[in-house]
Amino acid sequence: MLRGLTTVTYFADDVPAAVRWYAEVAGADPYFVRPEEGPPAYVEFRLGDLQHELGILDRRYAPAATGPAGGGVVTYWAVDDARAAFDRLLALGATVHQEPIERGPGYVTASVVDPFGNVLGVMANQHYLDMVEGRASA
């Protein structure tokens, strides 16, 4: 049974640059850095209300792409305002993957390509906010 998001891993050729960029995006420093000689190969952040994990891994450890266009998934991170988050990511150097789209009442998604080639999704999701509010009042 799936119990929820644990770690999302993004790949980068320049891990220190990716760490700086994501620290700026998240407003948080990594909590774990794999000890290495030289630049780290893996760094991890804990983010958001439920402390989900975002890992940055040296691209040399990335699995081979599959399918005619590579393959992969888009992971959406919860935000309060998808348009504002999307605009901020673009201002920090990301490029447009998909403009904000209202998917239904209370659900807006958008995605960008980070400066390291990963797709980063953001979602304003009323269900998520209701769940977090319910946990806080319990």
What are the tens digits of pLDDT across the range 40-84?
889 999 998 888 899 999 988 887 665 444 556 688 899 999 999
- Superfamily holding 73-138: 2,3-Dihydroxybiphenyl 1,2-Dioxygenase, domain 1 (3.10.180.10)
DSSP codes joined into one string, 28-88: ---SEE---SSS-SEEEEEETTTTEEEEEEEGGGPPPP-STT-----PEEE-S-HHHHHHH
Cα–Cα distance, 78 to 57 (Å, whole number): 22
* Res 92 pLDDT > 60: yes
* Res 104 pLDDT > 90: no
Cα–Cα distance, 101 to 24 (Å, whole number): 25
pLDDT the model gives residue 69: 47
48: left (phi over 0), alpha (psi -120 to 50) or beta: left
Domain boundaries, the chain: 1-61, 73-138
Cα–Cα distance, 54 to 37 (Å, whole number): 22
pLDDT the model gives residue 27: 95
Backbone angles phi, psi at 10, to 5 degrees: -110, 155
pLDDT the model gives residue 39: 81
pTM of full prediction above 0.75: yes
Question: Which tokens is 36 given?
Answer: 């290495």
Contact call for residues 42 and 34 (beta carbons, < 8 A)? yes
87: left (phi over 0), alpha (psi -120 to 50) or beta: alpha
Architecture in CATH for domain 1-61:
2-Layer Sandwich (3.30)
CA R_g for the chain: 16
